[in-house]
Chains A and B, each alone.
Chain A
Amino acid sequence: MLDGDLTSKDVAELGCPSELMEREWSPCRHACPVHADVRGYVELIARGRWQEAIDLIRAALPFASVCGRICHHPCEENCRRWEVDEGVAVRELKRFVAELQGAEGSTVNKAAVQDKAKIAIIGAGPSGMSAALELAKLGYRPTLFEKFPIAGGIPATAIPTYRLPRDVIQMDVDWILAHGIGLQTGVEIGKDKTVEDLRKEGFEAIIVAVGLAKSRMLPLPGADHKRVHPVMDFLTELAFDRKPDVGKHVLVIGGGNVAVDGARAAVRLGAEKVQMMMLEDEEEMPAWDWEQRESLEEGISFVHRRGPVEVLTQDGEIVGVKARKVTRVFDDDKRFSPQYDDGDVIEVACDTVIMAIGQMSDNGFADDSDLAIDERGRLSYTPATQQTNAADVFACGEIVTGPGSAVEACASGQRVAKAVDLYLGGKAIEIDDTLPETFGKIDEATAQKVTKTTRVKVPTDAPEDRKKVFAEFEHTLDEASALAEARRCMSCGSGAEVIVDKCAACLTCLRVCPFDIPKVTDVARIASNLCQACGMCIAECPANAIIARGWDINELVDDTAKAIASMDGKAPSKIVAYVCGHYASANAWSGSLEDGVPGVAELYLPSMSRLGANQMLKAFENGADGVIVVASQIGGDRYPGATERVQKRVEQVRELLGEVGLNPDRVQLVEAANQGRAAMREAMAGAAERIAAC
């Protein structure tokens, strides 16, 4: 176990330096319920490596496209960039790459053989489908049983399409099913088949993943009116393109996300006035902040601290809801325990009511089975093993975790798959839920030195336009915006690590670091939670005592050798251009631009800070006729001081070349990387000419 200082021996024992990334997880990854390698995929997106990015996302998160639209992004909440300027818009980046690639553009890692036990999963929602995916990859034969005609769960049946379009859900469903998973829609367990029937059909384990599909209702006088809609039914009607019966003045009872979905859907159905009435005050209102803000923008108003008492009707129509004052929602132990003042009662006018006070499970699946449901309607469940009272029946998702987000449901499904695998393997169900450490907020001293940038603005339709339609109102980022946003990531934890037995405490790393991070006592130590991964110290260290956790410093030399070899016999010259890729397009990074300078191979780096003198010499050793260093102008580089440092390195290489009898002009520096492709190309062409003249 690597802890503290790193030695040469430790490095030799690593398969590759990126194993060091497992010592500590960046806060985004740590906070993510499925622990997706957020830093990793944001970095891939920054380099235009779309397929690798979506594959890395999907390695942890099967519902990548869905979450790209609806995830509550705990990663963003914990992004350390907030201490510098604003956090990185991770969800928008995920959306960009997931929808760009679709299901076809995501690699399917189907198990070579699926010959292990058959497993039945009740409910094809996020938790059930995530469980199915994990089990299929392990070689099991999972079958999903879904009562609705489509798979996808709540995302498909109860999230309005302005938030989550159908084709986006289908990308994830298709990709998951491609791993060898059976799906039977229109089959309701408990009605069409029982749990016992499933056992008789040879399913050796059953997973209950039915979610919380029913609306909690209140037995209010008048609540049996046809225009009093349980919110889940209301949303499901919409999902199947049926128009629920709403009037002009809708009152939604409830303050959570589902209530907001109901309210915003009602607006789009043409209601002239939509209000949300809830027990909670402004601070306590549970819906996500952005949902609250967007609702207010769409003209929805909130009535706080009121609880419904009666639905008032007149001549067969709803005219309002009588509501009493709420004095307190939570008790001193923060438990839900509302208290009312029955002397303070108002009438809120409305002609339609949507009840969105909470969800509960539909326990019909347990009919005619040995599954125990308690008097409060809860399925018997042991959290550690995720088993019900029947050893072969497991549960995951909202039915056992309570209301949560899609990604949390995925995590629950992934865990139950581990439990089922252990059970079917005859092992004790013991799952280690511990996580690597993460780091706290970035120090103010370091944060101040990071170049400030602005978070991308998501193209969003104006409230007056968007509230008329169920079409998406927030649009996917374009490539340029996605690249720029991904390049705001500070790559937390992927930076420099000192190999202490090689370090001579020469102080060079401390002196060249633009962020003053290395501390040198007996040896240099570089705080992994502060390092910005610029690579400047790595290129300067005289002892080769610093490695990068997140990348292999030898890769550049190998890529250079390959690029030169590919130019053999094909080009007038073999010139390598090392280009600062901080402003470059995805095509530039992938080498698929068609306007390259003949005889010049372009290799892209996140910053010139990484390019050392030795790497430039190695290019010549590997047969290059010349090297062009394309840096950004001073002030335009990603890391302060990078261009100045590269200027010095180029001077040094020119001298070294002169010493061996090669013309120093074979190394050219142009500072044009931030001036657009046309200017950069012209500068490279000029440099290539100067090299050719040598």
Chain B
Amino acid sequence: MIVGERKPFEEIMEMISPYKKVLIIGCGGCVTVCLTGGEKQADTLASQIRLAAKQKGLDLTVAVDCITRQCEREFVDNLKEDPKQYDAVLSIACGAGVQFMSDIFPDTPFLPGLNTSFLGYNKEPGIWEENCRGCGDCVLAWTGGICPIARCSKSLINGACGGTDKGKCEVSKDMDCAWYLIYERLKARGKLDELRKIRAAKDWCKDRGAGVRRLVLKEMVEEEAAG
């Protein structure tokens, strides 16, 4: 899932400083699951902003709303507050949500309350870790379920570099060398042959190489009304 982290508080205050009436909108999707962008976190941020505003003698009204997801049209109808009534919206959805909502309300500044960071998993309660880069051409079938694009610091495809050090990446002793992990897992399964197979070069067009990507499922696309 998408993991985002709340922006530094000072940066948020800076972003909203031109405004007097701000609406914070939470998102019930991924950012609720990683406990940074849900309705509760919107309430927390609103309290903090009000306290800071009082400290600084600012004239600032803050309201809170939350919808199931900010990346889909139909959920927007569930807003109780009207963004157009505010000077700005501070959205604590992921970047996809902030942008989608911004497109729906083009005349209202939609500010990002989070830094959207990565696709990841919940390692243990309170800790999330990146393990997918959305490269669009998944190699997990022959790397034993360990992604070298996300978990190798250099996103190497052909095995460890010379910096691998007793299973750790040269970047940091706390960081595993992804290729070391891949090698050990395939070895344990008796599948090291996978690494000896010649494969075509990775098509980076499926990643960012060809610009904005799109998924089209034709059976779900609604036809334009015939004339």
A residues neighboring B (CB under 8 Å): 501-502, 504-508, 511, 541-544, 613-614, 617-618, 620-621, 656-657, 659-662
In the complex, chain B residues whose CB is within 8 Å of the CB of A541:
40
- Selected contact of A544 from candidates B10, B43, B48, B51, CB within 8 Å: B43
Query: Is the Cβ of B55 less than 8 Å from the Cβ of A542?
Result: no
Query: Is the Cβ of A621 less than 8 Å from the Cβ of B50?
Result: yes
Contact flag A544-B39 (CB < 8 Å), given A614-B44, A617-B48, A661-B55: yes
In the complex, chain B residues whose CB is within 8 Å of the CB of A505:
33
Name 19 interchain pairs, CB-CB below 8 A, sorted by A: A502-B28, A504-B32, A504-B33, A506-B34, A507-B125, A541-B40, A542-B40, A542-B41, A543-B39, A544-B38, A544-B40, A614-B43, A617-B44, A617-B48, A621-B47, A656-B44, A657-B51, A660-B51, A661-B56
Contact-residue bracket for chain B: 20 to 34
Query: Is the Cβ of B40 less than 8 Å from the Cβ of A659?
Result: no
In the complex, chain A residues whose CB is within 8 Å of the CB of B35:
506, 508, 542
Query: Is the Cβ of A504 less than 8 Å from the Cβ of B47?
Result: no
Contact flag A660-B55 (CB < 8 Å), given A502-B39, A504-B33: yes
Query: Is the Cβ of A662 less than 8 Å from the Cβ of B38?
Result: no
- Selected contact of B32 from candidates A542, A617, A656, A662, CB within 8 Å: A542
**Shortest distance from the beta carbon of B125 to any chain A beta carbon, whole Å:** 5
Given contacts A504-B28, A506-B32, A544-B39, 5 further A-B contacts (CB under 8 A): A542-B35, A543-B38, A544-B38, A618-B47, A660-B48
In the complex, chain A residues whose CB is within 8 Å of the CB of B55:
660-662
**Shortest distance from the beta carbon of B5 to any chain A beta carbon, whole Å:** 14
In the complex, chain A residues whose CB is within 8 Å of the CB of B56:
661
In the complex, chain B residues whose CB is within 8 Å of the CB of A502:
28, 39
How many A-B pairs with Cβ below 8 Å? 70
Q: How far is the CA of A499 from the CA of B32 in the complex (A)?
A: 15
B residues 77-99 near A (Cβ < 8 Å) are: none
Q: How far is the CA of A621 from the CA of B44 in the complex (A)?
A: 11
Q: Does B68 have its Cβ within 8 Å of any Cβ on chain A?
A: yes
Q: How far is the CA of A617 from the CA of B32 in the complex (A)?
A: 20
In the complex, chain A residues whose CB is within 8 Å of the CB of B63:
none
Query: Is the Cβ of B52 less than 8 Å from the Cβ of A660?
Result: yes
Q: Does B9 have its Cβ within 8 Å of any Cβ on chain A?
A: yes
Q: How far is the CA of A250 from the CA of B218 in the complex (A)?
A: 97
**Shortest distance from the beta carbon of A262 to any chain B beta carbon, whole Å:** 65
Closest to B12 in A: A659
B residues 20-74 near A (Cβ < 8 Å) are: 28-29, 32-35, 38-41, 43-44, 47-52, 55-56, 66, 68
Q: How far is the CA of A508 from the CA of B32 in the complex (A)?
A: 10
Q: How far is the CA of A497 from the CA of B82 in the complex (A)?
A: 29
Q: How far is the CA of A322 from the CA of B38 in the complex (A)?
A: 83
**Shortest distance from the beta carbon of B163 to any chain A beta carbon, whole Å:** 36
Q: How far is the CA of A660 from the CA of B52 in the complex (A)?
A: 5
**Shortest distance from the beta carbon of A257 to any chain B beta carbon, whole Å:** 56
In the complex, chain A residues whose CB is within 8 Å of the CB of B50:
621
In the complex, chain B residues whose CB is within 8 Å of the CB of A511:
125
Query: Is the Cβ of A501 less than 8 Å from the Cβ of B68?
Result: yes
In the complex, chain B residues whose CB is within 8 Å of the CB of A543:
28, 32, 38-40, 66
- Selected contact of A542 from candidates B9, B38, B52, CB within 8 Å: B38
